[in-house]
Structure 1
Amino acid sequence: MYTTKYDKIDVDAIINSERLLNNYVGCLMDEKPCTPDGAELKKNLPNALETNCESCSESQKSMADKIYHHLIDNKLDDWLKLEEKYDPLGSYRKKYLDNKN
């Protein structure tokens, strides 16, 4: 299980703030410094994708779902950049798009 230290983060505040969301995307893309929670996300993201978030808490699964749906629906360019870096073969894409519907 990943640390639950950041499970109480207000994900709605992040996705509704252009500045905060850009900082998280920048962190994941190695373009901006990471906050402690951003660094934790960046460290765990490859494994979480590979294992379908098997080690995630329910809160983390819910946050991930909300974030990727928001990115696909509202920030597609950022989603595509992240996908290119973390899923270059498209291995996880179908699963996320299927879950979106």
Structure 2
Amino acid sequence: AAAYTTKYDNIDLDEILHNDRLLNKYHECLLADDDASCTPDGKELKAAIPDALTNECSKCNEKQKNGAEKVFRFLIKEKPDLWTPLETKYDPSGSYRQKYADELKRVSA
């Protein structure tokens, strides 16, 4: 399986997470049914999420895994109002919440 692109690996996640305007823009992209509101990196992320959830992020490099964990931790702890709709969209049956229960517990501790 081909790895995900590393083109966006140097994006400053802290800058996005701590800027409501930027964060809300990504959030809007990830929840939208189309890609009209997405930046190029947002579109790439949105396309990768279902596969990453299904395959334990097997195509992610270490930096991408750490970045995902950082984003999850931030959203779960600081922005549950943003996290919940993402869970609803990308995990409607709750199967990933069960599959990743240990990881979720760890990042939300």
Query: 2:27 aligns to what?
Result: 25
Moved over 2 A (4+): none
Opposite residue 68 of structure 1, the aligned amino acid is: F
Residue-by-residue CA offset, 1:69-95 (whole Å, 9 max, x unaligned): 100001101101000000111122241
Query: 1:45 aligns to what?
Result: 49
Query: 1:97 aligns to what?
Result: 104
Where in structure 2 are there 5+ consecutive unaligned residues? none
Q: State TM-score, norm by structure 2.
A: 0.86
Query: 2:61 aligns to what?
Result: 57
Opposite residue 13 of structure 1, the aligned amino acid is: E
Query: 1:13 aligns to what?
Result: 15
Q: How many residues align?
A: 101
Please give the secondary structure, in 2, of the residue aligned with 1:4. Answer: coil
Verify: 1:71 aligned to 2:75, yes or no.
Answer: yes
Q: CA deviation at 1:17?
A: 0.5
Q: CA deviation at 1:98?
A: 2.8
Q: CA deviation at 1:13?
A: 0.4
Opposite residue 42 of structure 2, the aligned amino acid is: G
Partner Cα distance (1:7, 1:29) in 2: 22
Query: 1:81 aligns to what?
Result: 85
Where in structure 1 are there 5+ consecutive unaligned residues? none
Query: 2:6 aligns to what?
Result: 4
Opposite residue 16 of structure 1, the aligned amino acid is: H
Larger radius of gyration: 2
